[in-house]
Amino acid sequence: MAAEGKTIDALSQFELSPVLGIFGNAVSFSQSNLFMVIAVAIAYFLMKVTADRGELVPGRLQALGEASYGFIAGMVRDQVGDEGKKYFPFVFSIFMFVLLGNLLGMLPYAFTFTSHIMVTLTLAIVVFVVVTGVALAIHGMHFFTYFFPEGAPKWLAPIIIPVEIISYFSRVVSLSVRLFANMVAGHVMLKVFATFVVLLGGLGAVGPFVAAMPLAVNVVLVGFEFLVAFLQAYVFAILTSIYLHDAVHLH
Amino acid sequence: MNERSDFEDRLRQARTRQGLDKRPEGRGSLPPGPWGIGLRAGVEVVSALVVGIGLGYALDRWLGTWPWLFLVFFVLGSASGVLNVYRLFNPRKTPRAN
């Protein structure tokens, strides 16, 4: 994988290949799907442990589950308001899925499924459809006044309405591209500097000393990537709840 | 008088700390710092352009009017990119329930 033939091959880490032998080949079950299943399983068991035990003094797992629950519940309450409580399960599922996808990608030999635009685009489309559905269910036809701000001159409508509609649709693109680009950029950087370590390490006597520099960079980058993994999941969730706020309250 | 307003201040702070009063500003808690803001603004502009260009191109393919709708939607896409960045710094005024 790394540094074959003394070249830097930073993108092969994103290639999909079937796993689980014959079964995986038959239905094209790739490692991306495998890690999605693992992420969902981890989220499920974390919540199950948290809810089952319910001890007064929480253990480590229970504290983790309660902290993540409280974090997102507080965020939804702050952003959407009290009527946003019923959307909490949706935001929480999205957040846990993205967060676990980003964090699982930090493990060696793991695959980061959030580094594929198709995955993040699908997540963003789900958010978009749910938010639009909520807005239509609450406001009915009144929802379409969202595209024409009150008090704007009528003759500007042919310009304002298309611009607002494009701006509304651009949420899908910006939501998905932000997550995707952050994950790809981070993992490419990690791979490039890791390849430098290998290439420079083979330079004879001085090699190991020179190779210490990209190694140090990589140590910093790994820490930075954990920050990005959390931050991007947070941004995805907070934008989802801001959009939900717009859908619930219109303007 | 002075003592009373001091008490009101402390009461408000205590209530906010306990989460009884809503914090005045809940929005805009996105990544701070020049890099965070800059990257977000860039993504907003590019994504609006992508949507505008994609929509214009698709409509042209459908109606066979290449390149006119593409050009129109290119301009509209740039306009909504600017609008997105404007929204980033001045969110819609919302009658928040607080």
Max distance between CA atoms of chain B, in angstroms, equals 76
For residue B62, the distance in angstroms to the closest alpha carbon of chain A comes to 18
Q: Which of B17, B23, B69, B76 to mutate to test the interface with A (most CBs of A within 10 A)?
A: B76
Band of pLDDT at residue B27, cut at 50, 70 and 90 = very low
pLDDT digits (tens, 9 = 90+) for B39-97: 888 889 999 999 999 999 999 999 988 889 999 999 999 999 999 898 888 776 544 43
Q: Which residues of A231-248 are buried (b: 16+ CB within 10 A; e: fewer)?
A: ebbbbbbbbbbbbbbbbb
Q: A-B interface: how many C-beta pairs under 8 angstroms?
A: 78
Asked if A230 and A224 touch (Cβ cutoff 8 Å), the reply is no
- ipTM of this predicted complex? 0.77
Q: Which of B20, B27, B43 to mutate to test the interface with A (most CBs of A within 10 A)?
A: B43
Query: What's the total number of domains in chain A?
Result: 1
CA B4 – CA A38 distance, rounded (Å): 58
CA A114 – CA A102 distance, rounded (Å): 6
**Domain of residue A59, residue span:** 4-249
Of residues A76 and B98, which shows the higher confidence score?
A: A76
CA A215 – CA A24 distance, rounded (Å): 36
* Cβ contact, residue pair A162, B76, below 8 Å: yes
Residue type, A106: M
Nearest by CB to residue B44, choosing from A162, A164, A174, is: A174
User: B10, B44, B94: which is closest to A178 by C-alpha?
Assistant: B44
Band of pLDDT at residue B13, cut at 50, 70 and 90 = confident
CA B88 – CA A179 distance, rounded (Å): 18
Residue ranges covered by each domain of chain B: 33-92
The DSSP bridge partners found for residue A18 are: A30
For residue A175, the distance in angstroms to the closest alpha carbon of chain B comes to 9
CA A222 – CA A193 distance, rounded (Å): 11
pLDDT per position in chain A (251 positions), as tens?
444 556 777 778 788 888 887 777 777 888 898 999 999 999 999 999 888 877 777 788 888 988 999 999 999 988 888 888 889 999 999 999 999 999 999 998 888 999 999 999 999 999 999 999 999 999 888 888 888 877 788 888 888 899 999 999 999 999 999 999 999 999 999 999 998 888 888 887 888 888 888 899 999 999 999 999 999 999 999 999 989 998 888 76
DSSP A112-159: -GGGSHHHHHHHHHHHHHHHHHHHHHHHGGGGGGGGS-TTS-GGGHHH
User: A174, A178, A144: which is closest to A160 by C-alpha?
Assistant: A144
Q: How many helices (H) and strands (E) does chain A have?
A: 7, 0
Asked if A147 and A132 touch (Cβ cutoff 8 Å), the reply is no
